[in-house]
Structure 1
Amino acid sequence: MKKHLRLSLLAFTLSVTLFAACKDDKEEEITPNNPNNPQPAQCDTNNVTYSSTVSGIISTNCLACHSASQAEGGMILDTYARVKAVADNGKLIGVITHANGFPAMPKNGTKLSDCNIAKIQKWVSAGAPNN
Structure 2
Amino acid sequence: MNHLKWRLALLCFLNLSLLAGCASDNEEDLNPKPTDCDTSAVTFSGTVNAILQANGCKNCHAAASASGGVILDSHAEVKKRADDGRLLGAITHASGYTPMPLGGTKLSDCDIAKVKKWIDNGTPNN
Establish whether TM, by shorter chain, passes 0.5. Answer: yes
d(CA) in 1 for partners of 2:71, 2:44? 16
The structure 1 segments of at least 4 consecutive aligned residues displaced by more than 2 Å after TM superposition are 1-6, 42-46
Structure 1 length normalisation: TM-score? 0.80
> Where does 1:24-39 land on structure 2 (aligned, <5 Å)?
24-26=26-28, 30=31, 32=33
> 1 CA distance for matches of 2:44 and 2:96?
26
Aligned length: 122
Q: Which has the larger radius of gyration?
A: 2
Instruction: Determine which of 100, 108, 112 is the counterpart of 1:117.
Output: 112
Match of 1:37 in 2: none
Flag the structure with higher helix content. 2
Deviations 1:36-85 (A, max 9, x none): xxxx3153323121111110111232111111100111111111111111
1:14 equivalent to 2:17? Answer: yes
2:83 paired residue number: 88
Paired with 1:31 and 1:92, the residues of 2 have a C-alpha distance of: 30
Gaps of 5+ in 1: 33-39
Cα distance between partner residues in 2 of 1:31 and 1:97: 23
**Sequence identity percentage:** 45
CA distance in 2, matches of 1:118, 1:7: 52
| Distance verdict in 2 for CA 1:108–1:5, change over 3 Å | closer
| TM-score, normalization by structure 2 | 0.82
- Residues in 1 aligned to 2:103 and 2:18: alpha-carbon distance in whole angstroms: 45
The residue aligned with 1:130 is: 125
Query: Quick check: 1:63 aligned with 2:63?
Result: no
**1:84 alignment partner, SS class:** helix
CA RMSD of aligned residues (A): 2.1
Q: What is the letter of the counterpart of residue 6 of structure 1?
A: A
Provide the secondary structure at the position in 2 that maps to 1:46: coil
**Which runs of 5 or more residues in structure 2 are unaligned?**
none
Aligned-partner SS, 1:81: helix
